[in-house]
Chain A
Amino acid sequence: MAKPIAKAIHELKHAMLEISFLQCALDSLVVFLVSLLVFMLLTLPWWYAFAPFLIYAVLHTYRNVKSQKLAKAEETVPELDEQLRTVADNLDKENEIIEKLNSEVLKNMKKIRTSYFFSFGRLTRELLMIAIVSFLIIGASAYNVQFLDFKKTVKDLAEYQRGGEYALQEELLQFEENLSDDIYGNESIAELGGQELQLQLNPSLSDIDISQIKDPEHREFRSTVPTDITGTTDVSFEETIPKGYQKIVKSYFREIVKTR
């Protein structure tokens, strides 16, 4: 038969785990709803929101379950500090001192309330957030609100990167190097510590006259083909070997291949 302290610790761990799962479920739900709203506003398929939801849920639950240690319960009841872990680690041992410690811990464990493991402030904030985001999702769906057509933007961006639309005149982008000995400003102000600085500036001329850049011309192409353009068949590819000789030629080349 299991010791009462073993049962109590098992119950405590179970309760802590349940609360942890609930907390994780709520956190993940918030992530799902926010992702859903974002994807809706970006006109992406709503089921894309499952990806961040699943990743977050798995990682968050794993981390939370792993951190569920008795030390957390000890934090809530200072009288149990370090004792709960000691008892849990020594459940298989029996002696006078451990028995006394077990009974003391069991008495103090009654002070632990499940509510200690809930952060009511956080819970309230999360519920409030779930409600707000849900309303926003309903509203966005009802009025078909879209901030950005994500697919179209990506397509436009790809086209822009190819650079087809804005062809600049190359000659306007050329620059000349000015090799004159001119120095800008007064020589006397370039003196440092009584010594004149021998500086030579070679400024580059790279002005671009933006006003000369024109919009691309719109050209129309005629859909009908002009009548003066005619097409003829090229006869150079036609085989002129008489049918009777074709067999001889084929067998000739076959023999050549064989002899190689």
Chain B
Amino acid sequence: MRLEDTKKTFDRVMHEMGKVIVGQDEMLKQMLVALMTNSHALLEGYPGLAKTLAVRTMSDLLELKFSRIQNTPDLMPSDITGTYIIEETSGGKRNFKFQQGPVFANIVLADEINRATPKTQSALLEAMQEKQVTVGNNTFKLEEPFFVLATQNPIEQEGTYPLPEAQADRFLLKIKTGYPDEKDELEIVNRYAEAIKKVSLKPVLNKNQLLYVQDVTRQVPIANDIKKYVVDIITKTRTKKDLMEYGASPRASIGLVLASKARALLEGRKYVSKADVNAMAYPVLRHRIILSFEAERQNMDTDAVIKTLLK
């Protein structure tokens, strides 16, 4: 794969995904940003907005090992990481053998992550951070690339275990999926309310190509002015006490620069623009700031507060 082909490849990914997903271009782009930066993303949206379908479609387009974890309150950490099982050899000898869990894949869809207990969430989040799994005395390295695309529902909070801020910080992006507009919804109805047509998707990216894209993403140059702008935004989240009780950590600065680089490459640019930073500030900061009482009193949501930080 060559640098010139990067933009074409992403256009093809978007085109193929467009065969299945309608009216969620921004969500798809942000998912690609997470893949390009070798990071994880949390998709939040109401039921029926194609969050799970988007992740499944993405996995079809990438020639990567995919697994899905449907989170429930009775899900155990070993159901994610894997466990030792007793295996009997032909000679009648019994040995312990490690049975890998669904986390041993390249793309892991953690559906409705907030339904799992904090203990199970922690097992997954540890794998996300360290990119390795420790079971008993043994540590198993996870294969690169490794992404977790988790989904959660902002409603029906009863019986859920919302991700603590520290754990939500492991996700580079919190992608909000909104309702499609009227035109797109009509297209969805036309496409899925009639005869079911099997959509054939062609894999666009293989593992090596993806690793190359990840490498190129980090190489995208950024001007010092833009870096300062990023740091300025993140610092403001800590100093604007009237709107934010807690601000973002330096991890957010790194994440915002990386995400902006990925977006620049997606847009076919070889440099980071201020527009990239402004666009990526929302998914990067959404889950990293806690609004103050004053902001809530003014009926401001997280996105409205982030908007006040951008020039």
Contact = CB atoms under 8 A, between A and B. Distances in A.
A85, A93, A97 interface centre (most CB from chain B within 10 Å): A97
A86 B271 contact: yes
Contacts of A202: none
Contacts of B274: 82
A96 B270 CA distance: 10
Nearest to B275: A82
A98 B219 contact: yes
A90 interface: yes
Contacts of A98: 219, 221, 270
Interface string A64-92: 00000001000000000111011111100
A97 B270 contact: yes
Interface in A32-80: 71
Given A97-B3, A100-B3, A89 B273 contact: no
B223 A89 contact: yes
Contacts of B273: 81-82
B216 A97 contact: yes
A82 B271 contact: yes
Contacts of B270: 97-98, 100-101, 104
Nearest to B3: A96
Given A97-B3, A101-B221, A86 B216 contact: no
Contacts of B64: none
Contact of A101 (B216, B224, B226, B271): B271
Contacts of A96: 3, 216, 219
Interface in A87-132: 87-90, 93, 95-98, 100-101, 104
A82 to B, nearest CB: 5
A82 B221 contact: no
Interface string B263-307: 000000011111000000000000000000000000000000000
Nearest to A96: B3
B20 interface: no
B219 A82 contact: no
A90 B216 contact: no
Contacts of A71: 225
B211 interface: no
Contacts of B224: 85, 89
Given A97-B219, A98-B219, A98-B221, A86 B272 contact: yes
B222 interface: yes
Contacts of B225: 71, 85, 89
B220 interface: yes
A90 B222 CA distance: 8
A86 B3 contact: no
A101 B220 CA distance: 10
Contacts of A83: 271
A223 B216 CA distance: 105
Contacts of B216: 96-97
B174 to A, nearest CB: 27
B303 to A, nearest CB: 25
B220 to A, nearest CB: 6
B223 A86 contact: yes
Contacts of B221: 86-87, 89-90, 93, 97-98, 101
Contacts of B272: 82, 86
Contacts of B271: 82-83, 86-87, 101
Contacts of A93: 221
Interface string B207-228: 0000000001001111111100
B222 to A, nearest CB: 7
A89 B219 CA distance: 14
B3 A85 contact: no
Contacts of A95: 219
A97 B220 contact: yes
A96 B216 CA distance: 8
Contacts of B219: 95-98
A101 B273 CA distance: 13
A235 B284 CA distance: 106
B25 to A, nearest CB: 24
Nearest to B216: A97
A82 B225 CA distance: 9
B234 to A, nearest CB: 19
Please provide the 7 A-B residue pairs with the shortest distance between their CB atoms, ordered closest to farther: A85-B223, A90-B221, A101-B270, A86-B271, A86-B223, A95-B219, A89-B224
Interface of B: 3, 216, 219-226, 270-274
28 contacts: A71-B225, A81-B273, A82-B271, A82-B273, A82-B274, A83-B271, A85-B224, A85-B225, A86-B222, A86-B226, A86-B271, A87-B271, A88-B223, A89-B221, A89-B223, A89-B224, A90-B222, A93-B221, A95-B219, A96-B3, A96-B216, A97-B216, A97-B219, A97-B220, A97-B270, A100-B270, A101-B221, A101-B271
Interface of A: 71, 81-83, 85-90, 93, 95-98, 100-101, 104
Given A81-B273, A97-B3, 17 more contacts: A71-B225, A82-B223, A82-B271, A82-B272, A82-B274, A85-B223, A86-B221, A86-B272, A87-B221, A87-B271, A89-B223, A90-B222, A95-B219, A97-B221, A97-B270, A101-B270, A104-B270
